[in-house]
Structure 1
Amino acid sequence: MGKASRRRKHGADQGSAEAARTKVAPAPFVSRPFEGLPNETDWVAMREILPAATATVTFAKGQAPEGSPSDVTVATVLPMAWPGLHRADGTVFFGTQSGSVSGDASRDLALCLLAAGAAEKGTPITSTPAATAESPRLQDLIDTTAPFEVTVHEGFDFWVGDSELDDDAKSSLERANESVIPTVKMDAAASAYWCRIGERTHIRLVLPEDEDTATDALARLHAAGESGLGGPTRLLGAFRACGLLVPVWDLEPEKTSADYEGPLGEFMTRYAEAVASTDSLTADERRAKSGLLSRQVTLR
């Protein structure tokens, strides 16, 4: 090999080594990405099960990008599935169900939040870069002492005023409104939502305990015949979302959400007792747990 070839090879080796040294690791997997945020269960609901909902968060001191308001609107979905939007009136939105997907949803959404806050007024965020191990998390950016209160909407008219929508965005709004599943936030339990899908109605509840604890508690109730919400209702099963468990009940379709406030409150009392139990699962409870696990699915 000539000197020039050796120099080129040596330079290439140096470049490869430097690239390896400076390469940023991808975002690590976090099983409960919203842990540590106020109302973790409602963050999970906004990320995974709610069709049209908003909440407000406040940047922590010194974390707001230049030109961004301190208060930002969190939305389930934005027009054209944008990850973020800095409206012409200065309002900043970021969407929980859009953007890049890594092993840590908190980092993914933090990038949406920062991009939307830093954007010029009237500018949508159409994509975000992949999160890395160095990307900030929501827990780093927002005031975690402020409450996180979800408002459920009948449609997506909260997006922007009609005067700000171009034809594509108007069409997106119309299609989105037509597809919204009627949903009502329940009062008897935190992060419980009644919904109507076709001719059937359901309640979906995001439980705050770790998956294993919540599954054991549901198994105790199911084995005792106490997992329903009265009458012919039944626990269909549960799915896993962002490290938490979300049981789903099939309800009487002719009844409204208000009819289930009492039964849901009674269930929560039974559930709390089941969570507090320190007894080992009985044979019947272990069989009930196996049945629940066989019907579980993981979102994302």
Structure 2
Amino acid sequence: MAGGEHGSLGSVRHLTSVDGLSDAELHHLVQRSAWYAGPGAAGVRPLEGCVVGSFFRTTSTRTRSAFATAALRLGAGHVAYGPHDLQLNTGESMEDTARVLGSMLDALVVRTAADPAELRALLAQNRMAVINAMTADEHPTQAIADLSTIELHFGKIAGLRVLYIGEGNNTASALALALSRYANVEFCLATPPGYGLDSSFLERARTQAAQRGAQVDEVHDVTEAMEDADVVYTTRWQTTGTSKADPDWRTSFLPFQVNDALMHRNPRAVFMHDLPAHRGEEVTPEILDGVSSIAFRQAEQKMHSAKAVLEWCVRGRPA
């Protein structure tokens, strides 16, 4: 049992990568996230008696707030740890830290620094659910929030055409792994040369897509990008906690701005952004704040998807 004497009821479940979810589990989390955004979820408190911790080594507005408020709204207690709060700073190992926290918490939401090995070290214990709130290579809970936003807007995900434009970062990795699990989806990543998706993620997404009649493409010339998409998605060019070796990198990114010209090629598309946004860089203010944008609805949806993730990790699939 997860947590033993804690509040958990089912076997411990971690969410560290979209790859770790079956199709049924991914679809459940997306649909449950959408359900939590509706009126039927008011007052539902499946985590009464549980305690959720959050440990963020880097800055966060949406993800940190989403999981903290989700835990509280679902009836759990919440303990927050900042980058300097744990004895990791004095030399204690992550494995020992995990063993201690696992004896007290039902779940730990973790945003590590650059090294995904920190997250893996937390899995050495088997009493506390571990949730990846972003590593350098993947942001799985962002993808669940994104897909549930798409589900709420279109009433489906299968068969949609999605254009991601910008850096092939951790958000793009998670999106590729998630969208490729839906039938007949067309997903095009338009990235500057040298800033594409990591080859291992691209290969895995393409393999999954081929099994489901879906398609994942990557192009490095914006004129070759998908047109007439249902969704145009971007992220800020300077991913949280990273830097670029080329001092002139902005020149490479300028053609990949989401602006009126790009949206004119995708006239029926909604615009999505994982935020924070730098208006005038990756997207113009007119698009981010315009009628086609659902970016701030997408941000709010992170709280509802956090509820679904916490419920699934701590309590298991609801009846």
- Could you say which TM-score interval applies, normalised by the shorter chain? under 0.3
Which of the two has greater strand per residue? 1
Larger radius of gyration: 1
**Relative contact order (alpha carbons < 8 A, sep ≥ 6): 1 or 2 greater?**
2
